[in-house]
Amino acid sequence: MRGYAGFGTAILLSPIYSTLWGPRAGVPVMLLMELLVSVQLLPRALGDADRRVVLPLGAAAAVATPVGAWALLSADGELLRRVIGALVLAFGLLLLSGWRYRGTRPLGLNLAVGAAAGLLKGATGMSGPPVILYLLAGTEEARRHRANLILFFALIAVISVVAPALGGLLDRAVLLRAAVLLPVLLLSVQIGARLFPVVPVRWYRRFALLVLVGAGGVALLA
């Protein structure tokens, strides 16, 4: 998903890893992996991204992410896991319904959406839902949408690991899990990126949305 569409790492892995290990262990693993994936994808996407829209989104998200991280450090783990699951499930159902934001993209709205994404990123590891719904609203071609998402996630990838590191969440178990899982993710990202020019979007979208709904349901109900 990440290599093909430019998003999907956090939205899929955050609910699953939070169910397996709890949010305070699962979210930091996902954040470390997301950081390295962003580094891998960013160079090819820079030329296609709309920086006028994405840079304000990323700046606002970077400022808000540490605020959201307070919830990750202090909230009840079981409640936070179910919140993550509910958010992913709601997001998947919204995409399945075909709803998109259809308005313009003024600077103030860019900053507001970015701030909302940053709060979610800090608390749950997922900044995607508001940004994806917002950026996919335009009439741009799929290549521009994908590049915009890759650039946005890269902008906040570094700041998102700072709070867990300062809060002592990047312990040996988290680092070991990330080290074991990262090669699988990086290989899958490359496969997805190579499939982007050849696999019809409609096939991918159906599969991806079903996976999103399934992942959210597992985290919410498990």
CA angle at 179 for the pair 125 and 72, rounded to the nearest 5°: 25
Could you tell me the pTM of the whole model? Answer: 0.78
pLDDT of residue 158: 82
pLDDT band at residue 204 under the 50/70/90 scheme: low
The backbone torsions φ and ψ at residue 65, rounded to the nearest 5 degrees and listed phi first, read -60, -45
Class of residue 111 by CB neighbours under 10 A (exposed 0-12, middle 13-18, buried 19+): middle
Nearest alpha-carbon partner for 181 in 6, 4, 52, 12: 12
What is the tally of structural domains in the chain? 1
Give the span between the Cα atoms of 36 and 13, in whole angstroms: 15
Q: What is the mean pLDDT of the chain?
A: 83
pLDDT of 14 higher than 90: no
Arithmetic mean of pLDDT, 38-49 = 86
Alpha-carbon distances, residue 160 vs 53, 101, 126, 163 (angstroms) = 20, 26, 10, 7
Between 75 and 121, whose confidence is greater? 121
Give me the domain span that covers residue 99: 2-221
And the tokens for 1? 């998903």
Between 211 and 182, whose confidence is greater? 182
Arithmetic mean of pLDDT, 86-101 = 75
Alpha-carbon distances, residue 172 vs 29, 60, 82, 165 (angstroms) = 11, 31, 26, 12
Arithmetic mean of pLDDT, 28-49 = 88
Arithmetic mean of pLDDT, 81-101 = 76
Nearest alpha-carbon partner for 152 in 12, 7, 11: 7
Q: Please list the helix, strand and coil fractions of the chain in percent, rounded to the nearest 5, in that order.
A: 80, 0, 20
CB count within 10 Å of CB 78 equals 11
**Chain centroid to CA 41: how far?**
14
